[in-house]
Structures are given as structure tokens and as C-alpha cells.
Amino acid sequence: MTTSTPTSATATPVSLLGLGPMGRALATAFLDAGHPLTVWNRTPGRTGTLSRRGAAVADGVEEAVRGGRVIVACLRDYAAVRAVLDPPPGDWTGRVLVNLGSGEPAQARSLARWADGHGIRYLDGAILSPTPAIGTPSAAVLYSGKAEVYEVVRNVVAAIGGTGGYVGADPGRAVAHEVALLDLFATSVNGLAHAFALAGAEGIAPGELAPYAAGIGGLLTEMAPRWAEQLAAGRFPGERSTVASAATALSHLVGTAAGHGLDLGALASAKRAADRLVTAGHGDDGLARLATVQHADGAEQGRQA
């Protein structure tokens, strides 16, 4: 397990708004860490075993706010946070709002401005891990917003566990990490689904493809840090594989998928990026250069330090 149990001097009353799967996991982590906990959920009756474990169940949001010094929201999205907290219920003097729901970076910035406008100390956060990781060393949670607000809550949110931490003053930065990683996850999941469909169309059973598919997934672990270095340096050595070679392979892939009537959306986008680089004379560069031509207008982006 994660954190040491707080002493009575460091235990902080926490209120948790939202008892979906993630909210319940957070509630358990706060209780495990010894913080007095008040919970509230829009739909009553979702407290499970939390009240037996000592959580106070608030009848309304105002009562929940009254019960905590750190108010943690874990709701579906930013619209839900607005629906629950705008206008702010109760007295927020001496309290901090930490929002851990998902959304868009611009929505996080907008909520931070809203909080400022109401004199509420605000910290945004993004949970990058699934519920079983919460409260363990493997939980990854990022926070962004005013550094002094993070300092106020860091010992409390330590209960959530794991790696991550403060990523900067821009309140949208934590959620920006989340959407970038969701981009990788969503396109990888779609790629896996598309590969099984293509293999199936060629008469290859899922079980035959699976061991090779798992090997491809493993390649990303090595590529991510190597690409990061190359993008920061603006140098793309092509000694392992080149964009021109990838463009040719993508032609084979698009041709085969088209022959089976499969959707070509993601592949067409990948091929467009590779073709743009070949046309611009960068065919001998390594694959990391593909990250520089992902804009819809085809403009090549500069160095990403």
C-alpha cells in the first residue's frame, strides 16, 4: 500500500463529490490513509461500504462542502462540476477545490478562472490510472494550477498514491497530459481492432495474430523516450527505419484494407503524414519526424523542446 497513516496533526477532513467507480476508489484511499471523509453523490444510495468504514454521507453539496477542508470532485466531466458547484454552495473560506474529473484543457482553464472569480483556491488534476491502482504505488495522477495550492493539498492527495505530481502553473496542463495519452490509447486500441479485422478478412484467427500483436505493443516502450529525445533535438536519424520505407508499407496496408472494404480513416491519415515528409525531401529520416506533420493543414511543426 501507499502512504503512511497520517497522524492526528496531519489528518485533513476531505469531502468527495462523486461516487462513480473512480470516486469510490478515491474514497477508499482517503479512508485507508486515515483522513476523515465526507461523501456526496447526485444519486443517493451509492455509498456501498463507505459509511460502514466511517465516511459521513452528506445529504447535499453544501453539507459536503462544510464537512471538508479539501473538497475533491470526481465527476463525469467539467459540465458536471459546474452543475454541482455553480453557484458555489456554502462557505469556501479556508477550503480548497481539487477537480479530478476528465475533460479538455480549455475547460480546466475556464474552471480555474471561475474558481478565481469566486475566491476559491483551485487545483486541477488528471488521473492516468484505472481504479485498481488507486491508493497503490502504481497510481499516476498529475496536478496543475497554482503551486501554493498544490503545496496545501499535497499531503492529502498523497493518499491517492503513486507516481506523478505537480506539472505546472497552467491549470490545463494536467488534463493536457491526459488527452495526449488518451490520443495514444484510443488510436492504439483502434489499431488493434483494425488489425484483428484485417487479419480476419485474410483468414487469420485472432489467436494466431495475438502473440505477434503483443510484440508490436511492446515496441512503443522503447520508442517513446527515443522519439522524445529526437523531437527535442530536432534530429531524426534514419538508421533503424525510414519514413520512405514506412510510406511504402502503408501503401501495401491501405491497398489490402481497401480490398476488404475496411474503413481507411486512420490509415489514410498515417499515409498522408508519411507522404508529406517524402514529398518535402525527408524520406530518409527516422519515424519520429512523423510527429512534426500531424497538423490538419499539413504544415510542418518545428522543434518540440
Ligand X SMILES: NC(=O)c1ccc[n+]([C@@H]2O[C@H](COP(=O)([O-])OP(=O)(O)OC[C@H]3O[C@@H](n4cnc5c(N)ncnc54)[C@H](OP(=O)(O)O)[C@@H]3O)[C@@H](O)[C@H]2O)c1
**Contact range with ligand X by CB under 6 A, out of 52-60, 80-88, 139-147, 206-214:** 80-88
CA distances to 69, 108, 134 from 145, rounded to whole Å, are 18, 9, 22
Interaction of residue 50 with ligand X, rule CB under 6 A: no
Q: Does 107 bind ligand X (CB under 6 A)?
A: no
For position 89 contacting ligand X by CB under 6 A, the verdict is no
> Which of 14, 16, 22, 70 is close enough to bind ligand X by CB under 6 A?
22
Residue choice 50, 57, 61, 74 for contact with ligand X (CB under 6 A): 74
Please name every residue paired with 140 in a beta bridge, in sequence order, or none if there are none. 163
Whether the CA torsion 42, 45, 47, 51 is positive or negative: it is positive
**DSSP SS3 for 231:** helix
Binding flag, residue 102, ligand X (CB under 6 A) = yes
Q: Does position 76 bind ligand X by CB under 6 A?
A: yes
Which part of the chain contacts ligand X (CB under 6 A), choosing from 13-21, 104-112, 169-177, 256-264?
13-21
Helices (H) and strands (E) in the chain, counts: 9, 8
Site size with ligand X, rule: CB under 6 A: 22
Burial grade of 110 (CB within 10 A; 0-12, 13-18, 19 or more) = middle
Binding of residue 237 to ligand X (CB under 6 A): no
x/- track of binding to ligand X for residues 112-131 (CB under 6 A): ---------------x--xx
Q: Residue 84 interacts with ligand X (CB under 6 A)?
A: yes
The CA distance from 236 to 53, in Å, is: 55
Find the binder of ligand X among 1, 4, 5, 21 (CB under 6 A).
21
In the chain, what's the furthest Cα-to-Cα distance? 68
Nearest residue (CB) to ligand X, 126 versus 195: 126
E strand map for 237-280: none
Task: Give yes or no for a contact between 111 and 79, defined as CB atoms under 8 angstroms apart.
Answer: no
